Amino acid sequence: MKIRYSLIAAGVVAFGVGGSAVAQEKTLRLLTWADYAPTDVVAQFEKESGYKVELTLSNNEEMISKLRATGGAGFDLAQPSQDRITGPQQEFGIYKPMDLSKLKSELFIPSMLEATKKNTTLAGKVYGLPHIWGTDGLVVNTSLTKMADYADLCRADVKGKTAVRLKRPTLLAFAFAAGKDPFALYGNPKAYASLMDEVGKTVIACKPNLKFFWDNKDQLLNGMRTGEIVGAMMWDTGGWKLNGEKAEIQFIAPKSGALGWIDTFALPAKGKNDAAAYAWINFNMRPEIAARVAKSAGNFTGSKGADQLMDAKLKAQFAASFPEAALKNVKWYPAVPAGIEDIEGRVLDRIKAAN
């Protein structure tokens, strides 16, 4: 009797494990940004593919932290920016190489695909593919002030009325505004640390101008809407959203150059459903799907032909913010070498602590 119950129990356990494995095979665990997986797009993918999508919304720092904590487990697909792949991979081994044979490469804008592959290649293996791209620059209420570059956020006449994030893009932006090229110093940690120290002093001196260091988009958007903030370093999407509400609020490509980013598709090292990940990538790069995701995110995508299906107003706003010279002057983030963010982190801590 005892043996019989043991056999039944073993069978139940085996069925449970098998059932769990089947469920896992039909689930895509996606670590992504807000607005990159709109409900209608997820629903269509689930219907077409048979996979269930399990969403976790995050940002660059949190993605790396989550994957580092688990050694790259817990997710099947992540969406870090292209500059956050090779450095963390060298340090922590949190990603696995892409199998390019499983991609429909004809769906990508060729130049963007090649550039992203180059920027995410380590030891001859590609770790990232382009998805959403955009820029950081200035958003200005032109009825209240005029600004041309990041340093204008620190002018005496706008004291207490500007905002930036206490993150690395702010340090890089202020470095470019000072006529320096921080990216050119990535290979020289000592020189980079010296430049960041200079930039840190500039931002500390600017603190009386800053109403707050913004850490969520609603805080910043509401500050701009009410006129509490007249100028901020912000992403282009936010500027265009505000411009749609109030024509006098405009996204401006700074004189020293907007900072350009590309969010990617990357495979976590211990992801268990690569098939679902490749299915999601190929689905998302179809022009008609990419255009819907782009509308949700408010940015353009690496999908070939999706721009022709984009909202006409967004295309007009992009053209107004980026005349040809400004587009050529975008400073695209290169891969971040190991140790660079530690240098920046120490400077950001000093800025935060300064009175």
- What ranges do the domains of the chain cover? 2-132+262-316, 134-260+326-353
56 conformational bin, left if phi > 0, alpha if psi -120 to 50, beta if neither: beta
Average confidence (pLDDT) per 10 residues, the chain, 355 residues? 39 46 78 96 98 96 95 98 93 97 96 91 97 96 98 98 97 98 96 98 98 93 97 95 96 96 97 98 98 92 91 88 90 89 96 94
Rounded to whole angstroms, the Cα distance separating 351 from 355 reads 8
**Which pLDDT score, from 0 to 100, does residue 190 have?**
97
**Which pLDDT score, from 0 to 100, does residue 307 have?**
86
**Residues across the chain:** 355
Contact by Cβ (8 Å): 145, 157:
yes
Rounded to whole angstroms, the Cα distance separating 36 from 317 reads 20
Q: Cα 104 vs. chain centroid, distance in angstroms?
A: 23
**Which pLDDT score, from 0 to 100, does residue 227 have?**
96
Rounded to whole angstroms, the Cα distance separating 302 from 285 reads 8
Name residue 259's beta-bridge partners: 136, 331
Element (H, E) at 120: none
Q: Which CATH superfamily is domain 134-260+326-353 in?
A: Periplasmic binding protein-like II (3.40.190.10)
**Which pLDDT score, from 0 to 100, does residue 312 have?**
87
pTM score, two decimals?
A: 0.80
Please tell me if the domain spanning 2-132+262-316 has the same topology as the one spanning 134-260+326-353. yes
**What is the dotted CATH code of the domain comprising 2-132+262-316?**
3.40.190.10
Cβ-in-10-Å burial (0-12, 13-18, 19+) of 355 comes to: exposed
Both ends of the chain: CA-CA distance in Å? 76
**Which pLDDT score, from 0 to 100, does residue 7 have?**
38
